[in-house]
Amino acid sequence: MLILVIGGARSGKSSYAEKRIKELQTNSNDVVYIATAIPFDGDMNERIKRHQDDRPIDWHTVERYKQFNQLKMKEEFIQSKFVILDCITVMITNLMFDFYTDVDFETMNNEQINKLEVDIENEVNELIDVCDQHGKTLIIVSNEVGYGLVPSYRLGRIFRDIAGRINQKIASRAEEVILVTAGIPLRIK
């Protein structure tokens, strides 16, 4: 089963996803939490620590944002029933800078942007497929990026467009899509 939990920044989507897992799980240690954030500055370190403090200590944390086929070699993944990835938009950001370390996003051409999106989509599909092949319930947390202003800089627009289309593709594969606003979940699929 695939569940997409989507909402704005600080909407309560991570808390909802974690609560949902707790409602579904039968054992306390059958959850793999995939954390996609990279601690690149003090603010991110604080955000990561807050998320670590909020989740149960018996959940298995895997820090990863790519190469999800490697999960099937991890004992905690094999033993788990549930996987939560938090969050897809941080993952997309990491991948954008991984795939294009020497490119100026302000001058990228459409061919490069399309290839970048395909590469990111392949990583997302790899995660969904490996969980599906191993019978895991997967909850993906993502930011809704379409409610804000159009970014004034090209990198922001590229990110917003890719993230929006990736969210659509995940939602099309998901059995459930939950929109969280002000801490209140609304099932939209």
Residue with tokens 């490697």: 70
Using CA atoms, how far apart are residues 90 and 136, in angstroms rounded to an integer? 22
Instruction: Look at residues 145, 90, 92 and name the one whose alpha carbon lies nearest to residue 118.
Output: 92
Q: Which residues lie across from 180 on neighbouring strands?
A: 7, 185
Instruction: Look at residues 127, 125, 129 and name the one whose alpha carbon lies nearest to residue 117.
Output: 125
Instruction: List the catalytic residue out of 8, 12, 29, 51.
Output: 51
60 is annotated as an active-site residue: no
What are the residues whose beta carbons fall under 8 Å from the beta carbon of 51, sequence distance 6 or more? 14, 35, 37, 86
* Catalytic center residues: 51
